[in-house]
Amino acid sequence: MSRKLNFLLCTMCVAKDMSREIDLIPAALSQTDIRTQLPFHLRQFVAEQDYDKRYNARDQAIWRYVLSQLVNHLKDKAHPVYFNGLKRTGITLEKIPSIDEMNICLKQLGWRAIVVDGFIPPQAFMELQSLKVLAIAVDMRSIEHIDYTPAPDIIHEAAGHAPIIADEEYAEYLQRFGAIGMKAIFNQWDVAVYEAVRSLSIAKEDYDLTNYEIVKFEDNLNELLASPGEPSELALLTRLHWWTVEYGLVGNVDDSGIFGAGLLSSLGESRHCLSDSVLKLPLTVEAVLTSYDITQEQPQLFVTKSCRHLTQILEEYAATMCYQKGGSSSLASAMSCGVVTTTEYSSGLQVSGRLTRLMTNALGGEIYIGTEGPTQLSVACKELEGHDTTYHSAGFGSPVGRICNLMKPLEDASEYDLQIMNIKREQIVCLEFLSGVTVKGWLKGLTKEDGKIVLLSFENCTVLDPKGDSLFDPKWGAYDMAVGESIVSVFAGSADREKFDVFPPKPEEKKSVNRPAKELPNEIKFYLELRNFRNCLSNNEEVTREEFMELVQESQKSHPAEWLLHLELHELSLSMKMHNEITTLHLESLCKTHQEFKHLINQGLELIGLENA
């Protein structure tokens, strides 16, 4: 028995050992249980795995081929935690993982997983990650895309992302990235690119579409990518995610290992990435300025010193983001994005809506902000009673800053301070801001949260800008004035996402799985019979050579070009000590007549210890 064949058989034994260990671990929550524990606005993205119906015997063969190849290739190239991580997350070489079985293991690491249909909005993906929930694409790549798939699939998500969270520092980085990423401001261009990438990935796996139709999706994406404009916070953060979580190397530029999921789950990329043709750069925050092309192998990669180093780089970039900076520059970024963002006053009041108005003073400081359309008022990301998007359906506007002659921020004023300033309920109150903005009206109420004044509610109110022009007229109804000396944070989305869901709806269309149904039954039958033979051998059950040879001959006659089927038959013949010349000759013939998968056959033959065809 050759060394590589022995390695393959050993990894199969490890897989069985891993399965036995899983049985000893207490049961985890089911997908239904996890779904009910998620925030309501995230539940729409949870899919059903429906294992037996979704994955056929050829899917299992694809998983086995790819995982066996990757484990063999990565044994001295991957981050040291990778192989331990495979075991600790319940991933075996023999079968596509059941999400419920994975959750049994992930529970021990403090994480959970859900299955999703393909791409989900980046903000939803990030929020799930912040909750220590892995979003795993439920689909399996087709045999035509066995080297690399244009769409998320369970190989990439389960075998790429999951194992590395066994490293506590990396898991901390992943969760922190999610918490920061969900606050990153994005714009309409980001939304359009997300839709274009999602549509293209669906198209490339849809066998009903012609190449001409697929090119139209590619052209749409390329047109968007050709004119990106100023990159948003999310676009820059996405680059850091790409160069670390997806395509990261660890170590130093002269001796690095793989930890990025995109590399760990791609046969082609995992071989290419460590070659001399790829430039290796030490990871710094400059990575956010390096764009990437998802359709091409990467010309350069970044090398982190450690998983702790990743968090340092992330925090360095986060310090520049609007959610930490606040102020007029952050408000300007939010206003230019054209989507719902949240503005947080120093009092703690949060205004969530599409920001359309920003007034500043001579020093550039914010003095008045306004939104258009549905707006929500919250404190600590909990919507204030009576201040939902229905009540503020047309928008919200309010001054920012200090009140003249009040030597402390209005939000910190005591009852005595308010009395001295003649700010009394059920009376006419006139507030003059240092900025020159004035608010005058009948004070109906005052809202306090956590000891701070966050809102003053007026009737018959007039609001004027420093030039005396009207900002609010009594004819418009009641007026609620936000209280706050400054804007301390601006971030993407709404504050209370349970009450104000701004995610785009879950896409209805789904990509086709493998080939159209009319082509599947016969060839899948052979994969299934082959898998049954393999299971019999694993269980020490008797398999006659006559039965096996009949399967070989029928397969070659009915599906001569189904290379993976014939490769598995060849491997099984060796396991049965048959050294079958028929399977060898057939594979050699396929290599000559089908150049497109010659390298895949050769990789398989190399792994089971035979010379290249």
> What per-residue confidence (pLDDT) applies to 120?
85
Q: What is the pLDDT of residue 1?
A: 33
Query: What confidence score (pLDDT) does residue 541 get?
Result: 83
- In a domain, residue 408? The reply is yes
Q: In which band, very low, low, confident or very high, does the pLDDT at 2 lie, cut at 50, 70 and 90?
A: very low
Take residue 51 and report the two structure tokens written for it: 């294992």
Band of residue 16 on the pLDDT scale cut at 50, 70, 90: very low
Res. 230 pLDDT band, cuts 50 70 90: confident
**Residue 510 belongs to a domain:** no
- Among 433-442, 542-551, 566-575, 594-603, the minimum mean pLDDT is found in 542-551
> Nearest Cα to 293, choosing from 254, 239, 347, 339?
239
497 inside domain: no
pLDDT tens digit string along 147-167? 877 678 899 999 999 999 999
Write out pLDDT tens, residues 44-86. 899 999 999 999 999 999 999 999 999 998 988 999 899 999 9
* Structural domain includes residue 108: yes
More confident residue, 298 or 133: 133
Q: In 3D, which of 383, 135, 95, 322 has the Cα closest to residue 245?
A: 135
The structural domain count of the chain equals 4
* C-alpha span between 119 and 193 (Å, rounded): 12
Look at residue 150 in the predicted model and tell me its pLDDT. Answer: 67
Of 314, 349, 377, at which residue does a domain stop? 314
Region of residue 460 (left: phi > 0; alpha: psi -120 to 50; beta: else): left
**Which of 231, 254, 289 is the last residue before a domain boundary?**
231
Task: Point out the least confidently predicted range of 351-360, 418-427, 506-515, 555-564.
Answer: 506-515
pLDDT category at 515 given cuts 50, 70, 90 is very low
**Looking at the domain assignment, is residue 470 inside a domain?**
yes
Higher pLDDT, 8 or 209: 209
Task: Please say if the pLDDT value at position 339 is more than 70.
Answer: yes
Residue with the larger pLDDT of the pair 420 and 205: 420
Question: 553 and 409, same structural domain?
Answer: no
What's the CA gap between 71 and 86, in Å, rounded? 10
Considering the domain architecture, whether residues 336 and 368 belong to the same structural domain is answered as yes
Look at 128-137, 245-254, 604-613 and tell me which has the smallest mean pLDDT. Answer: 604-613
The pLDDT assigned to 470 comes to 97
**Residues 274-304 pLDDT 10s:** 888 999 999 999 999 998 877 678 899 999 9
pLDDT of residue 600: 93
* pLDDT band, residue 505 (cuts 50/70/90): low
Q: What pLDDT does residue 108 have? A: 93
- Residue-number span of the structural domain to which 215 is assigned: 187-231
Residue with more model confidence, 325 or 44 = 325
CA gyration radius, the chain:
30
The span from the first CA to the last CA of the chain, in angstroms, equals 19
| Residues 480 and 360 both lie in one domain | yes
Question: Quick check: is 272 in a domain?
Answer: yes
Say if 279 falls within a structural domain: yes
Residue where the block lists tokens 């050993």: 10
**209 has pLDDT over 80:** no
In a domain, 526, yes or no: yes
Q: Are residues 262 and 389 in the same domain?
A: no
Does position 432 have pLDDT exceeding 50, yes or no?
yes
* Widest pairwise Cα distance in the chain: 101
pLDDT classification of 25: cutoffs 50, 70, 90: very low
Give the whole-angstrom CA distance, residue 546 versus residue 567. 19
368 lies in the same domain as 442? yes
Q: Residue 570 — pLDDT band, cuts 50, 70, 90?
A: very high
Residues 268 and 372 grouped into a single domain: no
* Span 531-535, average pLDDT: 88
pTM reported for the whole predicted model: 0.86
Residue 210 phi, psi dihedral angles, 5° rounding: -85, 165
Same-domain status, 347 and 385: yes
The tokens of 359 are what?
């007034």
pLDDT at 100: 92
Q: Which helix (H) or strand (E) holds 114?
A: strand 112-116
Mean pLDDT of 336-352: 96
Q: Kindly indicate the confidence band of residue 11, based on its pLDDT and cuts at 50, 70 and 90.
A: very low
Q: Span 317-339, mean pLDDT?
A: 96
Q: Please tell me the predicted confidence (pLDDT) of residue 22.
A: 36
CATH number at residue 160: 1.10.800.10
Residue 75: the pLDDT is 86
Same domain, 219 and 251: no
Domain shared by 291 and 398, yes or no: no
Instruction: Give the number of other CB atoms < 10 A from CB of residue 613.
Output: 18
Residues 30 and 134 in one domain: yes
Between residues 500 and 3, the one the model is more confident about = 500
| Residue 115 and residue 48 in contact, taking contact as beta carbons nearer than 8 Å | yes
Together in a domain, 395 and 363: yes
Half-sphere exposure of residue 372: CA atoms within 13 angstroms, side-chain side: 7
**Looking at residues 328-351, what average pLDDT do you find?**
96
Query: Is there a single domain that holds both residue 382 and residue 298?
Result: no
pLDDT of residue 149: 73
Q: Which domain-ending residue is among 458, 492, 526?
A: 492
